[in-house]
């Protein structure tokens, strides 16, 4: 009986209800495949907010790079990712152009330099920080260029034609001045101390181990409205993973107790 109860507890944690599993597409394909130590595609060409061509290899400019992928017309988390990043950066007292470079790259090949220009203007106005106007770079590109960059950093997302929006993971990539992936900061909440340490390590050329996965995607299907919003399901799965560890420990304890009885 005890073993059966523990098994059912495991299944309850690992498997969401059938109604939840049927609510949307398989989420496993939309995630980070972290690649610490990988090189960015230096010759990949993007466009800045003025429509000028920019090589990915020129984004660092001798400084560690904060790389943010998302899109500028995102109805969900992309704006929140940037705003929490900029708020944390403000608390670090680091200056763009002196201590770091930043590139916000659209994953939507249909977005233009006008879109990146509008997004940059709004963000700089909301977060007026040293060097932001000159060294926060907002970039767009064609599908080939975006795919090359996304593949290099292990960013898995795609456009869902049914939703008319992108399904993609959230997080930052911290890159060394030589264009090597140093570390990942996943999710959308960033601590100033973590940013400062990550940038300092990248500046030294240090490559960190892969970060603990955060199962948070920029979308969610709500069957009552027929729309996707913040993926609460993914947050629940993260909590479920912690619950699974607790259940596993309880199971071992109960099995040993039963064997000794």
Distance of CA 14 to the CA centre of its chain: 23
The pLDDT assigned to 169 comes to: 85
Please give the average per-residue pLDDT across 150-170, as a whole number.
87
Asked if pLDDT for residue 8 goes beyond 80, the answer is no
Higher per-residue confidence, 107 vs 259: 107
Q: Report the DSSP beta bridge partners of residue 160.
A: 165
DSSP string, 4-29: HHHHHHHHHHHS--HHHHTSS--GGG
The pLDDT assigned to 153 comes to: 97
The pLDDT assigned to 144 comes to: 97
Please give the average per-residue pLDDT across 197-203, as a whole number.
97
The pLDDT assigned to 111 comes to: 97
Asked if pLDDT for residue 93 goes beyond 60, the answer is yes
Higher per-residue confidence, 136 vs 259: 136
| pTM of the predicted structure, to 2 decimals | 0.74
The pLDDT assigned to 259 comes to: 63
Tokens describing residue 167 = 């399904």
Torsion from C-alpha of 234, 229, 224, 25, nearest 10 degrees? -60
Nearest partner of 74 among 132, 153, 142, 160, judged by Cα: 160
The pLDDT assigned to 260 comes to: 64
| Residue 206: pLDDT band with limits 50, 70, 90 | very high
Asked if pLDDT for residue 232 goes beyond 50, the answer is no
Nearest partner of 197 among 174, 172, 170, 171, judged by Cα: 174
The pLDDT assigned to 4 comes to: 43
Edge-first strand listing for the sheet containing 171-175:
136-139, 101-106, 65-70, 171-175, 181-186
Torsion from C-alpha of 107, 108, 111, 116, nearest 10 degrees? -20
Q: Which residue has the tokens 């795609």?
A: 158
């Amino acid at each position: 009986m005890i073993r059966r109860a523990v098994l059912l507890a495991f299944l309850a944690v690992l498997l969401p209800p059938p109604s939840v599993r049927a609510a949307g597409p398989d989420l496993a394909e939309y995630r980070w495949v972290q690649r610490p130590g990988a090189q960015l595609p230096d010759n990949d060409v993007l466009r800045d907010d003025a429509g000028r061509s920019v090589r990915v290899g020129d984004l660092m400019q001798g400084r560690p790079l904060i790389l943010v992928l998302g899109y500028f017309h995102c109805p969900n988390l992309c704006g929140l990712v940037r705003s929490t990043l900029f708020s944390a950066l403000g608390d670090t007292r680091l200056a763009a152009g002196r201590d770091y470079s930043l590139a916000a790259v659209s994953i939507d090949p249909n977005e233009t330099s006008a879109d990146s220009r509008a997004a940059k203007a709004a963000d700089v106005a909301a977060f007026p920080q040293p060097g932001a106007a000159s060294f926060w770079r907002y970039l767009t590109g064609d599908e080939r260029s975006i795919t090359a960059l996304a593949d290099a950093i292990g960013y898995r997302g795609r456009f869902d034609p049914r939703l008319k929006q992108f399904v993609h993971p959230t997080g930052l990539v911290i890159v060394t001045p030589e264009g090597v992936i140093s570390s990942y900061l996943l999710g959308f909440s960033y601590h100033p101390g973590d940013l400062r340490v990550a940038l300092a390590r990248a500046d030294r050329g240090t490559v960190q181990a892969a970060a603990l996965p955060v199962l948070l995607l920029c979308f969610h299907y709500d069957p009552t409205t027929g729309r996707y919003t913040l993926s609460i399901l993914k947050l629940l799965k993260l909590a479920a993973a912690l619950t699974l560890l607790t259940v596993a420990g309880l199971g071992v304890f109960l099995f040993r107790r039963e064997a000794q009885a």
